[in-house]
Amino acid sequence: MRNLILVTGSMRTGKTSLCKALFSILEKKSACPFAIIEENRRDERGIPLTIVLHDLGRKELLHFASRTASQGDDYLPFNFNTEAFVWALDKLKEAISQGCGPVILDEIGALEAKRGGGFLMDAVWAMDHGEGSLVLTLRPELEENLLERLSSMTKIGPVERFRLGSTDPEKLALTVADYVLSIASPGNELYIQSMHL
Q: Is the pLDDT of residue 167 over 80?
A: yes
Phi, psi at residue 172, to the nearest 5°?
A: -65, -35
Q: Is the pLDDT of residue 181 over 80?
A: yes
Q: Which of 43-47, 91-95, 180-184 has the highest mean pLDDT?
A: 91-95
All structural domains of the chain with their residue ranges? 3-195
End-to-end CA distance of the chain, in Å?
A: 29
Cα–Cα separations (whole angstroms), residue 95 to 1, 6, 90, 137, 164: 16, 21, 9, 19, 28
- The amino acid present at 197, given as its one-letter code, is L
pLDDT bucket at 111, cuts 50 / 70 / 90: confident
Domain range 3-195, CATH class: alpha beta
* Per-residue confidence band for 166, with pLDDT thresholds at 50, 70 and 90: confident
Of the two residues 188 and 32, the one the predictor is more confident about is: 32
Higher pLDDT, 51 or 110: 51
Residues paired with residue 52 on neighbouring β-strands, in sequence order: 39, 63
Within the chain, where are the H helices? 15-28, 83-97, 110-113, 120-128, 143-153, 169-182, 189-195
